[in-house]
Amino acid sequence: MKAALSHFTHTDDCSTEQLHGLLQLAQRVAADPSAYYQKLSGQLLINLFYEASTRTRVSFEVAAKRLGMHVVNIGTAGSSIEKGETLHDTFFTLQAMQPDFVVVRHPVEGTARDLVSLAEPGTHIINAGDGTAAHPTQALLDALTLQQHFGDLSGLTIVMAGDIRHSRVARSSLALLRRLGVKEIRLAAPADFLPGEQTVAHDRVFTEFDQALEGANVIMMLRIQKERISGLNIPDAGDYHRDWGLTPQRLALAAPECRVLHPGPINRGVEIASAVADGPQSLIRLQVRNGLYTRMALLLALSGGNHAAM
C-alpha cells in the first residue's frame, strides 16, 4: 500500500488501491497465519465496546494476541461508563495508557470518526460498528470470503436480504461490493426494512423474496435488528420465517452454486433455517475464520513498517 492508513473507520476513507491492498494482505494471512504470529509483539490494543458482541470483539482480541499484542477489554458493564463517565472522558483515560489501537463499537453513528479527532499520534482507531452507519471490517471479511470462494467478483449477482434498513453490515458491505465491481446487487426486504437512501438507486429492489433469487450466486442474510427498531412493528417470527426466511426450498430457486453468508448472530428459524445455516452452501463459519485473518491483516497494515509488505 502506498499512502499509509492511520485509522479505519469507514471503507470510504480508503482508496480502492488501499482496499485491494488490505484484501491481498488478508489473503496472505489466511494462507499462512503463523507466518505473522508475534509480528506486533508488545503493542497494546484496547477493545472499547458499548454494544454486545461475540465475533467482532473476540476476533480482534485473538488477532491481536496471535500478533503478540497485549489486549484490554472494556465494556459498559463493570467500567466507569456505569457511573456516568462520558465517551470522551473514557477515551482520554484509555489514551493516557498510550494504546497502539483502540477498537470501538458504539450505538451512535460517527463515534469512531469522533475518536479519530481526539486520538494522539501513534494511536490507531478502528470502527467495530457505529449505530446503523458502518461496520467496515465486516465488509472486508465478507469480500475476502467471496474472493476465496469465487475468485473474481465481477460476474456475481448478490442478493442482500432481510432488515437492510437498520443494518450497518449492509451499508458497509454494499458500499464495498459496489466498489469492487460486482455485476448486480439485489436488495430484498419487506417495505419497512428497505433502506431509504439514494445509494440504493443503482440496485434492484424486491419486496418478494422468491422473485429476487433467480440466478443469484450469493445470498447475504441479515437478522432483524430489534434493538434499533423504533416506530415500526417487529414482525412475528413465524410470519417472518414464512415470507423472508431462507429455507432449503428458497435456496433451490437461486443458482446451483449459490453460497449463503450471514454476519451473525443468526436467529435460527427466523431469517434462516438451520438446514441452510449448517448446510453445504453456507459460508457462515468461514466468514468467522476470515474475520480473524482480516483483522490480523488490518492491524499489520495500520501499524505500517514492512509487516504489511510481507
For binding to ligand NCD (CB under 6 A), which residues are involved? Answer: 55-56, 129, 135, 138, 168-169, 223, 225, 263-264
Name residues whose C-beta falls within 8 Å of residue 275's C-beta, 6 or more positions apart in sequence: 247, 248
Q: Confirm if 189 and 271 have CB atoms less than 8 A apart.
A: no
- By beta-carbon proximity to ligand NCD, the closer residue of 225 and 282 is 225
To ligand NCD, the closest distance from the beta carbon of 157 in angstroms equals 23
Question: How far is Cα 162 from Cα 9, in angstroms, rounded to an integer?
Answer: 25
- By beta-carbon proximity to ligand NCD, the closer residue of 107 and 215 is 107
Edge to edge, the sheet with strand 101-106 lists 70-75, 44-49, 101-106, 124-130
3-class DSSP state of 132: coil
How far, in Å, are 247, 265, 286, 288 from residue 277 at the CA level?
A: 9, 11, 12, 13
To ligand NCD, the closest distance from the beta carbon of 90 in angstroms equals 20
To ligand NCD, the closest distance from the beta carbon of 48 in angstroms equals 15
Question: How far is Cα 91 from Cα 146, in angstroms, rounded to an integer?
Answer: 35
To ligand NCD, the closest distance from the beta carbon of 254 in angstroms equals 22
- By beta-carbon proximity to ligand NCD, the closer residue of 18 and 287 is 287
- By beta-carbon proximity to ligand NCD, the closer residue of 47 and 225 is 225
Q: Which of 50, 109, 57, 56 is nearest to 81 (CA)?
A: 50
Q: Confirm if 96 and 88 have CB atoms less than 8 A apart.
A: no
Position of minimal CB gap to ligand NCD: 263
- By beta-carbon proximity to ligand NCD, the closer residue of 39 and 166 is 166
To ligand NCD, the closest distance from the beta carbon of 289 in angstroms equals 13
Q: How many alpha carbons lie under 13 Å from residue 1 in its C-beta half-sphere? A: 28
- DSSP tag of 4: P
- By beta-carbon proximity to ligand NCD, the closer residue of 128 and 254 is 128
Sign of CA dihedral 264, 269, 273, 278: positive
To ligand NCD, the closest distance from the beta carbon of 127 in angstroms equals 11
- By beta-carbon proximity to ligand NCD, the closer residue of 19 and 169 is 169
- By beta-carbon proximity to ligand NCD, the closer residue of 21 and 162 is 162
To ligand NCD, the closest distance from the beta carbon of 270 in angstroms equals 12
**Exposure b/e, 212-241, CB count within 10 A at least 16 = b:** bbeebbbbbbbbbbeeebeeeeebeeeebb
To ligand NCD, the closest distance from the beta carbon of 30 in angstroms equals 18
Question: How far is Cα 56 from Cα 168, in angstroms, rounded to an integer?
Answer: 13
